Copies of this chain bind each other. A is one copy, B any other.
Amino acid sequence: MQIEIVTIGNEVLSGRTLDTNAAFLARALEEVSVQVMWHTTVGDHVGSISEALRLALDRADGVVVTGGLGPTPDDMTRKAVATVFKRPLQLDESVLASLRERGRRLGRKLPPSIETQALIPRGAEIWVNPVGSAPGLLIEQKKKPVILLPGVPQEMEALTRQFVVPYLRQRSGRFVESFTLRTAGVYESMLHDVIGELPSKWPGGSLAYLPSYFGVDLRVTVAGGSEDDVHTVTGMAYEQLRQRVAGVTYGEGTAGIEEVVGEQLLARGWRIAVAESCTGGLLMKRLTDVPGSSRYVERGFVVYSNAAKTAQVGVDPALIEAHGAVSAPVAEALARGARAAAGVEVGVGITGIAGPDGGSDTKPVGTVFIAVSTPETEVVRDHRFFGSRNVVRERGAQTAFDLVRRVIAGLPPDPKLG
Contact = CB atoms under 8 A, between A and B. Distances in A.
Contacts of A280: 284-285, 287-289, 293, 297, 300
Contacts of A40: 38-41
B305 A357 contact: no
Interface string A53-79: 001000000000000000000000000
Given A24-B15, A43-B37, A305 B300 contact: no
A390 to B, nearest CB: 7
A18 interface: yes
Contact of A27 (B15, B30, B311, B341): B15
Nearest to A286: B281
Interface in A15-33: 15-20, 22-27, 30
B292 A357 contact: yes
A283 to B, nearest CB: 7
User: Taking the full assembly, how many copies of this chain does it contain?
Assistant: 2
B305 A302 contact: no
Contacts of A305: 294, 297-299
A277 to B, nearest CB: 9
A300 B299 contact: no
A191 to B, nearest CB: 16
A357 B291 contact: yes
Interface residues of A, number: 65
A285 B300 CA distance: 12
Given A298-B305, A299-B303, A14 B39 contact: no
A39 B36 contact: no
A179 interface: no
A76 to B, nearest CB: 15
A342 interface: yes
A312 interface: yes
Interface string A254-296: 0000000000000000000010000111111111110111100
Interface string A39-57: 1111100001000100100
A244 interface: no
B41 A208 contact: no
Contact of A297 (B38, B304, B341): B304
A284 B302 contact: yes
A307 interface: yes
A299 B302 contact: yes
A88 interface: no
Contact of A26 (B13, B283, B299, B300): B13
B288 A281 contact: yes
A369 interface: no
Q: Which of A25, A308, A356 neighbours the largest number of chain B CB atoms within 10 Å of its CB? A: A308
Contacts of A341: 311
A73 to B, nearest CB: 16
B294 A299 contact: no
A301 B299 contact: yes
Interface of A: 13-20, 22-27, 30, 36-43, 48, 52, 55, 208, 210, 274, 279-289, 291-294, 297-305, 307-308, 311-312, 341-342, 355-357, 389-390, 393
Given A280-B300, A284-B285, 6 more contacts: A15-B30, A279-B288, A280-B288, A281-B285, A298-B307, A308-B342
29 contacts: A14-B27, A14-B30, A15-B22, A15-B24, A15-B25, A15-B30, A15-B36, A16-B208, A19-B22, A38-B41, A38-B48, A40-B41, A279-B285, A280-B293, A281-B284, A281-B285, A281-B286, A281-B288, A284-B285, A291-B355, A291-B357, A293-B304, A297-B305, A298-B304, A298-B308, A299-B302, A300-B300, A301-B301, A302-B302
